A and B are shown apart, each in its own frame.
Chain A
Amino acid sequence: DAGVIQSPRHEVTEMGQEVTLRCKPISGHDYLFWYRQTMMRGLELLIYFNNNVPIDDSGMPEDRFSAKMPNASFSTLKIQPSEPRDSAVYFCASTRSTGEEKLFFGSGTQLSVL
Chain B
Amino acid sequence: DAKTTQPPSMDCAEGRAANLPCNHSTISGNEYVYWYRQIHSQGPQYIIHGLKNNETNEMASLIITEDRKSSTLILPHATLRDTAVYYCIVRVSTGRRALTFGSGTRLQVQP
Contact = CB atoms under 8 A, between A and B. Distances in A.
Interface of A: 4, 31, 33, 35, 42-43, 45, 48, 50, 55-56, 91, 93, 95, 97, 101-108
Contact of A105 (B45, B96, B102): B45
Interface centre among B49, B99, B100 (most CB of A within 10 A): B99
Interface in B69-111: 93, 96-103
B21 interface: no
**Chain B: interface size category:** 10 to 19
Given A42-B103, A43-B44, A101-B93, A56 B98 contact: yes
Nearest to A94: B97
Contacts of A108: 41-43
Contacts of A56: 96, 98
A105 B97 contact: no
A69 to B, nearest CB: 15
25 contacts: A4-B43, A31-B97, A42-B101, A43-B44, A45-B98, A45-B99, A45-B100, A48-B98, A50-B97, A91-B43, A93-B43, A93-B44, A95-B97, A97-B97, A101-B49, A101-B93, A101-B97, A102-B46, A103-B44, A103-B99, A104-B46, A105-B44, A105-B45, A108-B41, A108-B42
Contact of A48 (B36, B43, B97, B102): B97
Interface centre among A33, A42, A103 (most CB of B within 10 A): A103
A99 to B, nearest CB: 12
B50 to A, nearest CB: 12
B5 to A, nearest CB: 15
Contacts of B36: 103
B1 to A, nearest CB: 11
B53 to A, nearest CB: 16
A108 B44 CA distance: 10
A35 B44 CA distance: 11
